[in-house]
Amino acid sequence: MAMPAYRGRFAPTPSGPLHFGSLVAALGSYLEARSHDGAWLLRIEDVDPPRVAAGSADAILHTLEAFGFEWDGPVMYQSRRGEAYRAAVDELWHLGLVYACACSRKQLSEVARRGVDGPVYPGTCRTRQHADRALAQRFRVPDSRVIFHDNLLGHVACNVASECGDFVLRRADGIYSYQLAVVVDDAEQGVSHVVRGADLLTSTPRQIVLQQALDLPTPAYLHLPVAFDEQGAKLSKQTLAQPVESASPLAALRAAARFLGLALPADIDTSAGFWQAALAAWPGHSPPPIRGRRPNPCNP
């Protein structure tokens, strides 16, 4: 049987229970995939052990199941994918696109300038010939503009060299980076469309240059509006966002649908009724524009 032309995914980090911001991303990606008769895959992004909260991966899966999400195929866990990430770094190393970096965070804080998503690496170790592969492994980004079309935000362009700089693929402690893991895993799972929060827009140009370097396909992208708390901070585990209640999913599902601008009948009183109405209303629907300052990676 041929794979669906549309393959989307939801990829939460198990640093705590599922909160409203993550539910919005899950709902948007799920409805977009199902409206295209596509597959919806689930990946647990536990590549960074210090960020993982014990039991949270199972709790997230339980909550998604209780809310009525149905994913296709087995769940992928990044913590089990180390060999694939190592092979990708080795390939880039042999292509001359990765170099060992001995810079400490303290050194970088003193010389790096601020970019779109943190300090821009000044290239200190680019020309040094460190032979120690146990050092951090840094990707040599091309000095060119990355241009892509976001299906909600429109045209986006970024010079990754000047706005982000060379970035780490594997830390000195052996932990692989989010950017690398996402690129390798999206290709492994055959992801054709990425629907996620706009807080990750600044990651997209870096992931695209990695895809190009590894000769991997670039998915289509759609970055959804991000939910904020009353103080204007993005809802996240770090801002102590409250978990959604798996015992009463309907209220949270309706709130997430409203946040995405989806108009549903007022008399829906069951989760099954919600999904029937949401799936009927989503095709052709466009989420509302991002509120406040748009998180541009560079110059859209």
Measured between its terminal Cα atoms, the distance across the chain in Å is 40
d(CA 232, CA 253): 22
Q: Which CATH class is domain 83-170?
A: alpha beta
Confidence (pLDDT) at 107: 73
The pLDDT of residue 193 is above 90: yes
**Every domain of the chain and the residues it spans:** 7-82+182-200+213-281, 83-170
Q: Is the pTM of this model over 0.75?
A: yes
Burial of residue 264 (CB within 10 Å: 0-12, 13-18, 19+) is: middle
How does the average pLDDT of the chain come out, rounded? 88
Q: Are 20 and 230 in contact (CB under 8 A)?
A: no
Q: Name the residue among 116, 285, 290 with its Cα closest to residue 204.
A: 116
Q: Name the residue among 204, 193, 196, 263 with its Cα closest to residue 225.
A: 196
**Residue 98 forms beta bridges with which residues?**
139
pLDDT in tens, 95-149: 999 999 998 877 776 666 666 667 788 888 988 776 677 899 999 999 989 999 9
Q: Are 140 and 154 in contact (CB under 8 A)?
A: no
What percentage of the chain reaches a pLDDT higher than 70? 86
d(CA 11, CA 203): 14
7-82+182-200+213-281 topology per CATH: Rossmann fold (3.40.50)
The pLDDT of residue 272 is above 90: yes
Which string of b and e fits 162-195 if b means at least 16 CB within 10 Å? ebbbbbbbbeeeebbbbbbbbbbbbbebebbbbb
Runs of H (alpha helix) within 168-270: 178-188, 204-213, 249-259
